[in-house]
Amino acid sequence: MPRLSLYRPNRTNDYQYLDKVISEMYTVGGVDIYVHKYLGPQTGDSGNADATVPVYDTENPLFIEDLLLLENRDRVYDPDIFIMRMVYNTHDIDFNLTQFGLFLSNDTVFLTTHYNNMIDTFGRKLMSGDVLEVPNLKDYNPLDPSIPRALPRYYVIQDATFASEGFSQTWLPHLWRMKATPMVNAQEYQTILNQPFMPENIWDSGNFYPANTIVNDGNTYYKAKQPVPPGTPITDTNYWEVITNPNTIADSDSTRNTDLAINDAILVQAAVEVPLSGYDVNNFYIQPTYPNGQPAPAIDGPNGEEAISPTGWGYTLGYLTGGTTAPNGLPVTPGVAFPPHPKIGDYALRLDYFPNRLFRYDGAMWVKISENVRTGLDYETGALTQRASFVNDPYTTPTSDQGNIPMRQSLSQALRPMADNGNQGGNLPPNPPPYSNS
């Protein structure tokens, strides 16, 4: 008598029976999930090809775009949407107490689907990079009333394997389990996020459309200027206008635009509060002194004492404190030459010096007081700081073998291995720095 065993090395009738029962359970109790299929990195030469950034002529999800950083930044997704039945556990906002501190653990979703139905519908296993749209989690009441329709909820698969609960009595798997996190507005998902996010009204010439109605006709969006009677053609400019830049999914479903607005507001306020680099010493009063160091009068005295201007910034002189103003706000004569017939204590700002230099006349010579080294904190090309003139150098330098190459190169480019006969970003139009004769 053969020994009894539920395990079968092959998919026998027992497996087929259990698989159909499990499939029916997901058909009855599961939810529709829209799947955006990841096809692979973009094909063709992006202009940065080297040994670590191969050029692909076909789309394959197994290809890697950047072999050095192991990233697939420019991804391509199938324009067709696959519908699959899945099951996932809903949960409330809760705190994760397994780590130090309090962490919210409501952004990760674990989904399971029937394995064979997945293969038949999708053509392959769901993998990291595929995007899931969960329709039953749509936000039908967004706080922004200008959003034209319900906000979708997207998740990105981070990992996938056989589900432990999907092994039947025959020890063969029937379920596929995925770990997914919310999709963010990143470069990888621009194929999905750049899709128009407009009301799904399909143009029908026999319908009446109220004013401001938006319709789609051949992937072109039109907006009704006024109430449109039935039979009006879509080309009638008295009633319809083309929307050239319709809102995208990223505009409505992402906080990126708000984050950029917040960042811009912070930069504007920062420029108001700290407009220049270094330290502002203009608010300090500098006591004029005689050559022996004793205090001198700052204004003409009642007994004929002659006013004396400060001979320098005194103890306030420090790193990046020089500017175009004189101590105590005294008058300054700007120009490309020293003024004629100066008096003792006069100040002159030489604009032909790089950077501009402030001098004081002591009766025999013009003595340097300070240099205008305080510049804006943004990346101005004319700012006289090492960051702006060196790190953010916009100019080119000529070479004998590669033409004009940029002086400014990002760190990511410096880490890339370059071929000995590579372009190195050369053959640019000449843009020499202003202090160069080449």
Predicted TM-score (pTM) of the model is 0.68
Q: Which two tokens stand for residue 221?
A: 């969006």
Residue 112: count other Cβ atoms within 10 Å of its Cβ: 20
Query: Which of 284, 335, 342 lies closest to 310, judged by CA?
Result: 284
- Distance separating alpha carbons of residues 171 and 165, to the nearest angstrom: 11
The predicted pLDDT at position 353 comes to 87
- Residue 113 pLDDT exceeds 70: yes
- Distance separating alpha carbons of residues 411 and 427, to the nearest angstrom: 20
Which single residue is written with the structure tokens 């001198």?
296
Q: 221-258: per-residue pLDDT in tens? A: 888 999 999 989 988 989 999 988 888 888 888 888 88
The residue-averaged pLDDT of 202-222 equals 86
429: cis peptide before it, omega within 30°? no
Those residues with Cβ within 8 angstroms of residue 95's Cβ, 6 or more apart along the chain or in another chain: 102, 103, 104, 105
- Residue 97 pLDDT exceeds 80: no
The residue-averaged pLDDT of 91-110 equals 69
- Distance separating alpha carbons of residues 143 and 303, to the nearest angstrom: 75
Which DSSP string do the residues of 138-185 spell out, in sequence order?
-BSS-S-TT--SPBP-EEEEEEEEE-GGGB-TTS-B-EEEEEEEE--S
Give backbone dihedrals phi and psi of 255, rounded to 5 degrees, phi first: -95, 10
E strands within 218-283?
Answer: 220-224, 240-243
Which single residue is written with the structure tokens 């197994």?
62
DSSP three-state, residue 232: coil
Q: 270-314: per-residue pLDDT in tens? A: 888 888 888 888 888 998 988 888 888 888 777 767 888 998 888
More confident residue, 120 or 315: 120
Q: Domain limits of the chain?
A: 13-193, 274-376, 393-438
Give backbone dihedrals phi and psi of 134, rounded to 5 degrees, phi first: -100, 100
Which single residue is written with the structure tokens 């090395």?
9
Query: Which of 132, 125, 118, 242 lies closest to 192, judged by CA?
Result: 132
The residue-averaged pLDDT of 325-336 equals 92
Query: Architecture of 13-193 per CATH?
Result: Beta Barrel (2.40)
Q: What residue type is 403 in one-letter code?
A: G
Q: What residue type is 386 in one-letter code?
A: Q
| Sheet containing 357-361: order of strands | 333-335, 347-350, 357-361, 366-371
The predicted pLDDT at position 438 comes to 45
Q: Using an 8 Å Cβ cutoff, are 356 and 335 in contact? A: no
- Residue 421 pLDDT exceeds 60: no
424 confidence band (pLDDT: 50, 70, 90): low
Q: Using an 8 Å Cβ cutoff, are 44 and 58 in contact? A: no
Q: Using an 8 Å Cβ cutoff, are 192 and 249 in contact? A: yes
Give backbone dihedrals phi and psi of 256, rounded to 5 degrees, phi first: -60, -45
Query: Which of 184, 202, 180 lies closest to 193, judged by CA?
Result: 184
Residue 129: count other Cβ atoms within 10 Å of its Cβ: 19
